[in-house]
Amino acid sequence: MSTATDTQRKAPAGERVADWADGRLGIYSLAKANMRKIFPDHWSFMLGEIALYSFIIIILTGVYLTLFFEPSMSEVVYHGSYEPMQGIRMSAAYASTLDISFDVRGGLLVRQIHHWAALIFLAGMFVHMMRVFFTGAFRKPREINWLFGFLLFVLGMFTGFTGYSLPDDLLSGTGVRFTQGAILSMPIVGTYISMFLFGGEFPGHDFVGRFYSIHILLLPGIMLGLLVAHLILVFYHKHTQFAGPGRTNKNVVGMPLMPVYMAKAGGFFFLVFGIIAIIAAIATINPIWNIGPYRPDQVSTGAQPDWYMGFAEGLIRVMPGWEINLWGHTLVLGVFIPLMAFGLVLGIIAVYPFVESWITGDKREHHILDRPRNAPTRTAFGVAWITEYVVVFIGGANDLWATHFHLSLNAISWFVRIFIFVGPVIAFVVTRRICLGLQRRDKEKVLHGRESGIIKRLPHGEFVEIHEPLGPEQLHTLTAHEQYKPVEIGPTVDENGVERKVSALQKLRARLSKGYFGENNQIAKPTAEEYKEITSGHGHH
Amino acid sequence: MKKLSARRRHPLAAVVVLLLALAATGGLYAAFAPASKAQADETAQSLAIDEGKKLYSVGCASCHGTGGQGTTDGPSLVGVGSAAVDFQVGTGRMPAQQPGAQVPKKKVIYSQAQIDQLAAYVASLGAGPITPNKSQVSPDGADIAKGGDLFRSNCAQCHNFTGEGGALSNGKYAPSLEGVDPKHIYEAMQTGPQSMPSFPDTTMPEQQKRDIIAYIQTVNSGQSENPGGLKLGGLGPVSEGLFAWVFGLGALIAVAIWVAAHTAKAKKS
């Protein structure tokens, strides 16, 4: 690198540019520290990249859309090129969205890329979050980054919501009305917040302009900041890796950022952009021209939000319409309880890392990922959470389930009402059983080898299958995980007979810890002695 | 008066009064009854009614009663009119296959001539909406935009924005309007079959019905344009979300696996 001392030779152009920049920006030390940063290879580590790239695509296409969109609720009469809307009164926002779709060059494609990318952005974040959850990548030192990621997901939901509300079409207007209803259900403050947000009675003339500022400036600005912080922390913490030979808690085994990951990540960006563009070119999304302009007196069946809000829709749809009338005030439990449940279900997943570290009492750093089966209780909890999410999701589309599967709408609602409570419990139990079964199989494989499929007949007539011993790499991978001991309260009475006070919290913690790591809640992994004894030739069975 | 009141208890007085009353009613009826329809048509019409009655006795009477008065298995057909028959039988809904939440559309088993005969018979049971003619249901010259607005006000809450259909309570549903004959759409609005409310001419004039038909034909028929590409069932965000997860994220994960599998390898010596 230090060939620059050779003054006789004229340095190549790239080097001169780098030199020029280093003299002014001091990028050399920064580059030196980061360009050789190692990243481990696994496809599931690229799920976050899908989210990152779709976010970039959303920003790029969003900027184009702002050039033509008119965030105004002033009333206009449509005279554009879409015939079925001729002469209809609508807001300027809706009319300009029709213009973007039919009269702006490339407008419809860009709109569709923007919207498809938004759905994929949220889906990408969701699966990325699940990857982090099930591999235990949220453990120390990454709890804060988990929260950043969670915030990105929630803010992404609301950015999406404010975005699809902008065209002021009948579907999104119904969604805004739904949101206003949820706001109104809040005791005491609801009406004030609603009046403040909409500048008076719903719908008023302000919300499109306000949502526009929130959608293009406030929320994306916060998200961009969080995203940068998220990535800085990934660099700072270094990437996690799965257990394997040569991989420890103190190293990262993989390929360097420059040039391998630069090429891979850069290429992957174009692949993501390409796939989203293809989808946007072949499939319609949010055909607002079919939906019509918003009017509070009109509504359509099949009025659902985009998928990431489907969870909220489901909660409202299956909730019985309870309300309490007291002293001239109404508490609409039919909407307020779903609103609380919405925050609760999302909140649980956000605080999980802190709960788990409290239960395990583990304050060490973890850079080696867990295989989901080796953390059965966590995995079962995660699957239960997803089950809850999916069950509510079914409720959000109960009408389409009814028409497409020839079922009764009411039966589906009752199914959801019951399975909101029962589903996660069943999922928890079943998942844990499966995880423990897989742990047993791992143990079996370590001790007795892999089933070879070769059947041998012994002299006395017995048939046995030959098991091939695993190689050292596989043995290491299957036994690398560590197993915790449950937290014990210890004797509550000391040698002098003095009773020690044990708080209810401590008792709870001990019980939860037993649930995580107690006798029947994990399969003791094979020890070296066991392995030696079996492989030394005494009795193959 | 004295003579009359003196004989009012005569054994034949009641008979005389009855005869007088009958004569008065009959005379009044003859004087005020609507003139019978065009004389030339009468034979054809009554023939159709006769044929219709025969068809009715075979295919309908078991549920709707021998005289169309209705039974516990089927409603009365008095006053439903020929439009209702043309819709129900013409779309295959009647005769019903089995009782259930809703009688579905199925293969039509009567010819149009037979349907007309059935309609004539049922119409003869009591006045009701009449089967529309071609010009009444034609979308030509109708206002599509007005139709769209009317559709969103009156129809979309059950049939969806573009008439893709939707669910109602307890297994009932609003069917899809895609590819439905304009005549049947008109008759459905006129008669309000099954769960549907009726929109008689007093609440929705003929012109508005034609506007609505024109709108449906424009946005949801075989010839409809889909500027955005595949319409994914026209069901809105649910099918879009499913598509994004299955094909969007699915394709991206497949690509991610492919990229991860093609890593830089150490040169083999």
Q: What is the pLDDT of residues B193-214, one digit of tens each?
A: 999 999 999 999 999 999 999 9
Asked if A47 and B256 come within 8 Å (Cβ–Cβ), the reply is yes
Q: Is residue A438 in a domain?
A: no
The answer to whether residue A470 is domain-embedded is no
How far, in Å, CA of A411 to CA of B27, rounded? Answer: 61
Q: Which of A371, A381, A354, A349 is CA-nearest to residue A483?
A: A371
Contact A286 B237 (CB under 8 A): yes
Is the model more confident about A275 or about B9? A275
Which contiguous run of DSSP H or E holds residue A518? none
Please tell me the distance in Å from A336's CA to the nearest CA on chain B.
24
Tell me the chain A residues in contact with residue B164 when contact means C-beta distances shorter than 8 Å: 302
The HSE-up count of residue B264 (CA atoms within 13 Å, CB side) is: 13
In Å, what is the CA distance from A43 to each residue of A36, A47, B254? 20, 8, 9
Single out the residue of B49, B70, B188 nearest to residue B121, CA to CA.
Answer: B49
- Closest chain A residue to B247 measured between Cα atoms? A279
CA–CA min distance A112, chain B (Å): 8
In the numeric block, which tokens belong to residue A210?
């306000």
Site from B169, B213, B249 to mutate, A interface, most A CB atoms within 10 angstroms: B249
Separation between Cα atoms, residue A60 and residue A280, nearest integer Å: 15
Residue B127 has pLDDT above 50, yes or no: yes
Across the interface, of B166, B169, B228, the residue whose CB is closest to A287 is B228
Does residue A397 belong to any structural domain of this protein?
A: no
The residue type found at A62 is: G
Token output for A536: 């030394």
Q: Is there a contact between B167 and A399 if contact means CB atoms under 8 Å apart?
A: yes
Coil, strand or helix at A358: helix
Alpha-carbon gap, residue A50 to A271, rounded angstroms? 10
Does A482 reside within a domain?
no
Which residues, 6+ apart, have CB-to-CB distance to B91 below 8 Å?
B105, B108, B180, B184
Q: Sort out which chain A residues have CB atoms less than 8 A from B157's CB and list them.
A: 298-301
Do A39 and B264 form a contact (C-beta atoms < 8 A)?
no
Nearest Cα residue in chain A from B156: A300
B70, exposed or middle or buried, with CB in 10 Å at 0-12, 13-18, 19+?
middle
Residue of chain A whose alpha carbon sits nearest to that of B240? A285
Q: Is residue A271 part of a domain?
A: yes
| Residue ranges of chain A with per-residue pLDDT less than 70 | 1-8, 537-541
The tokens describing A519, both together, are 């006798």
Q: How far is CA A233 from the centre of its chain?
A: 18
Chain B residues in contact with A105 by the CB 8 A cut-off are none
What pLDDT is recorded for position A1? 46
Q: Give the H/E segment covering residue B203.
A: none
Contact A203, A168 (CB under 8 A): no
Please state, as a whole number, how many other Cβ atoms lie within 10 Å of the Cβ of residue A91.
24
For A329-360, what is each residue's pLDDT tens digit? Answer: 889 999 999 999 999 999 999 999 999 999 98
Asked if B166 lies within 8 A of A120 by C-beta distance, the reply is: no
Q: What is the mean pLDDT of chain B?
A: 87
Determine whether domain B134-233 maps to CATH 3.40.50.1820. no
- Residue A50: which of B171, B241, B256 has the nearest Cβ? B256
Our CA angle for B174, B178, B181, nearest 5°, is: 100
Task: Say whether B232 and A291 touch across the interface (CB within 8 A).
Answer: no
Q: Is B60 annotated as a binding residue?
A: yes
CA A168, CA B42: separation in Å to the nearest integer? 58
Radius of gyration (Cα) for chain B, nearest Å?
30
Report the gap between the CA of B156 and the closest CA in chain A (Å): 5
| A-B contacts (CB, under 8 Å) | 207
The pLDDT assigned to A118 comes to 97
B259/A285 Cβ within 8 A? no
Best CA proximity match to A51, nearest among A150, A139, A177, A144: A150
Specify the pLDDT at position A537: 63
Q: Which residues of chain A make contact with B248, given a CB cutoff of 8 A?
A: 116, 119-120, 123, 275-276, 279
- Collapsing DSSP to helix, strand or coil, A520 comes out as helix
Contact (CB<8Å) A84/B238: no
Is B10 labelled a binding residue? no
Q: Determine the Cα–Cα distance for residues B17 and B236; give it in Å rounded to an integer.
A: 73
pLDDT tens for each residue of B51-88: 889 999 998 999 998 888 889 888 999 989 899 999 99
Alpha-carbon distance B177 to nearest alpha carbon in chain A (angstroms): 14
Superfamily holding B42-125: Cytochrome c-like domain (1.10.760.10)
Q: What residues form DSSP beta bridges with A499?
A: A493
Interface pTM, i.e. ipTM: 0.90
Q: Is residue A358 part of a domain?
A: yes
Two tokens, residue A297: 């007196």
Q: Which residues of A144-159 are buried (b: 16+ CB within 10 A; e: fewer)?
A: ebbbbbbbbbbbbbbb
**Min Cα separation B25/chain A (Å):** 53
For B184-217, b/e burial (b = at least 16 CB within 10 A) is: bbbbbbbbbbeebeebeeeebeeebbbbbbbbbb
CATH number assigned to the domain comprising residue A170 = 1.20.810.10
Q: Mutation test of the interface with chain B: which of A172, A301, A406, choosing the one with the most B Cβ atoms within 10 A?
A: A301
Give the pair of three-digit tokens for residue B225: 């344009």
Which residue does chain A place closest to B212, by CA atoms? A84
In chain B, pLDDT over 90 holds for what percent of residues?
46
Backbone angles phi, psi at A273, to 5 degrees: -60, -45
Task: Yes or no: say if A296 and A173 are a contact pair by the CB < 8 Å rule.
Answer: yes
CATH 1.10.760.10 boundaries in chain B:
42-125, 134-233
**Rg of the Cα atoms in chain A:** 29
pLDDT at A245 (0 to 100): 86
In chain A, which residues have their Cβ closer than 8 Å to the Cβ of B106?
none
| B184 labelled binding-site residue | no
Q: Calculate the dihedral angle through the C-alpha atoms of A206, A207, A210, A214, rounding to the nearest 10 degrees.
A: 180
The percentage of chain B sitting over the pLDDT mark of 70, rounded to a whole number, equals: 94
Give the closest residue to B266 by CA, choosing from A243, A239, A255, A35. Answer: A255
| Cα-based distances in Å from A388 to A306, A418, A426, A525 | 18, 11, 11, 32
Helices (H), strands (E): how many in chain A?
A: 20, 10
Domain boundaries, position A164? 40-370
Test B226 with A284 for CB contact under 8 angstroms.
yes
Query: Does residue A253 fall inside a structural domain?
Result: yes
CB contact under 8 A, A299 and B156: yes
Angle in degrees, 0-180, between the axes of helices B250-261 and A107-134, rounded to the nearest 10: 60
Bridge partners (DSSP) listed for residue A467? A451
Residue B159 labelled as part of a binding site: yes
Number of domains in chain A: 1
> B219 contacts in A (CB within 8 Å)?
84, 290
d(CA B148, CA B162): 9
Question: What would the two tokens of residue A6 be?
Answer: 């050779």
On the question of pLDDT at B34 being above 80, the answer is no
Q: Is residue A28 part of a domain?
A: no
Phi, psi dihedral angles at B220 (to 5 degrees): -145, 70
Put residue A14 in one of left, alpha, beta given phi > 0 → left and psi -120 to 50 → alpha.
Answer: alpha
Contact A315, A393 (CB under 8 A): no
